[in-house]
Amino acid sequence: MLEATSMLELRDVEVRFNLKRIGLFGAVPQLRAVDGVSLSVQQGETMAIVGESGSGKTTLALAIARLVPVASGEIQMGDIDLLGLTGESLRTHRQNMQFIFQDPYSSLNPRLRAQDIVREPLDRLAIGSVDSRNQRVQEMFEQVGLRQDQLRLFPHQFSGGQRQRIGIARAIASRPSLVICDEPVSALDVGVQAQILNLLRRLQKDLNLTYLFISHDLGVVQHMCDSIAVMYMGKIVEESDRESLFNNPLHPYTRALLSAVPSADPSRRNREQRITISGDPPNPIDLPPGCRFASRCPMVEERCKSVEPILTLREKSHQVACHLV
């Protein structure tokens, strides 16, 4: 068996946003949306980043794509230092890294025809000749399950699932090696979700794509992903391969998330008790010492409120940041 090679490496990545100054001479408060995240995504695999709204997962994805400034850390894609790229070199490298956005209704330009939307990255990145671009667009439509007679239609003439297929075609038109999927099915009906997820899996196999999959839906993640990182308040609290995380979640937050996933298996429903998380997350501008989940954790101990847990390898490929494990 061949050893997997790393496609994307993150080391201590931080993203901070300056907020409105309090008073005339007060300090400018900072929001640490991503706080010291380290990850490794393997070639040809799918890594999920999961967590509730506001955990920092979309900001992390935008930082990887260089769409928000990174305060500190390293992001390496293959042998390319992404944070060292500027200007033309950054624009050229975008060919290798594309984004599938969450909302198929707002992510497509309503004034452009479908063929022009898919062709846009090819034109902007000057990929191939004019004839080869047109040919590539037709190939993309076929690959994502759209008809040739739909090339000249506008976005409003497509259903939500078809619009997301256009978004997928646009993302893979430049032949990227990494595709960042930001909740690509959360705005779709359940039946359409399954079709889009199966399409993404088929494209990954056919084109040897690597996915970074952002989601809050662990049912979707279980179907799609090889490895999973759980985020809470800007930090990774648990990271593991899919099987270990679903069979043996170690962090109390992960257990609560998994207990909320509906199951068709009656034995599992009877065996697993629903865990509810009470209270609100701490103020992200004025974070308390210790574990960020301490104020909501049903198993909290005194040390959790003063000593911040470090992400530590507990089992083979299973890391967790929790004093209680």
Residue 80 has pLDDT above 70, yes or no: yes
Tokens of 180: 């960042």
Q: Whole-angstrom Cα distance, residue 59 to residue 284? A: 14
- Summarised one tens digit per residue, pLDDT across range 125-146 is 888 898 899 999 999 999 999 9
Q: How far is CA 93 from the centre of its chain?
A: 19
Q: Residue type for 299, please?
A: M
Share of the chain above pLDDT 90, in %: 61
Residue 263: what pLDDT? 58
Question: Coil, strand or helix: which one is 7?
Answer: strand
Residue 27: what pLDDT? 76
Residue 269: what pLDDT? 46
Residue 320: what pLDDT? 94
The values of phi and psi at residue 16, to 5°, are -125, 145
Nearest to 41, CA basis, from 1, 76, 73:
76
Tokens of 118: 């898919």
Nearest to 79, CA basis, from 156, 9, 164:
9
Residue 264 has pLDDT above 60, yes or no: no
Tokens of 322: 């929790």
Mean pLDDT score of the chain: 88
Residue 152: what pLDDT? 95
Residue 325: what pLDDT? 79
Residue 262: what pLDDT? 64
pTM exceeds 0.95 for this model: no
Residue 270 has pLDDT above 50, yes or no: no
Contact 295, 279 (CB under 8 A): yes
Residue 4 has pLDDT above 80, yes or no: no
Query: What mean pLDDT is predicted for residues 98-115?
Result: 91
The alpha carbon dihedral of 56, 210, 12, 295 has a sign of positive
Contact 60, 34 (CB under 8 A): yes
The residues spanned by each domain of the chain are 249-325
Query: What mean pLDDT is predicted for residues 282-294?
Result: 87
Q: Whole-angstrom Cα distance, residue 264 to residue 120? A: 43
Residue 118: what pLDDT? 95
Query: What mean pLDDT is predicted for residues 102-117?
Result: 91
Residue 281 has pLDDT above 50, yes or no: yes
Cβ-Cβ contacts under 8 Å for 247 (sequence gap 6 or more): none
- Summarised one tens digit per residue, pLDDT across range 153-212 is 999 999 999 999 999 999 999 999 999 999 998 888 888 999 999 999 999 999 999 999
Contact 187, 132 (CB under 8 A): no
